[in-house]
Amino acid sequence: PAKKDGKLFKHGILRHIVIRKAFKTDEVMVILVTTNKKIPYVNELIDSLNSNNNSIKSIVQNINDKDTNLVMGEK
């Protein structure tokens, strides 16, 4: 959720986007941390990410549906 003045806004399903880059190979991993398993328009999102960056080698989803300040969930 987005933050403003230290308060969380609990709207939408996207909590965080984590981007990891392997500096030796320039490969990129994108982690979508969501509050729900189902991502609307997921195929369009993946196509858009891949078409704009040839370095992306993996796109994964992590689900964190808990009311916590931890980034990653258990799933």
- Give the per-residue pLDDT at 3: 58
Q: How far apart are CA 46 and CA 11, in angstroms?
A: 22
- Give the per-residue pLDDT at 72: 76
Angle at 58 between CA 53 and CA 64, to 5 degrees: 115
Range of the domain at 11: 2-63
Q: What is the pTM of this model?
A: 0.78
Instruction: Assess if residue 72 is contained within a domain.
Output: no
Into how many domains does the chain fold? 1
How would residue 4 be classed by pLDDT, with cut points 50, 70 and 90? low
Instruction: Assess if residue 75 is contained within a domain.
Output: no
Instruction: Assess if residue 45 is contained within a domain.
Output: yes
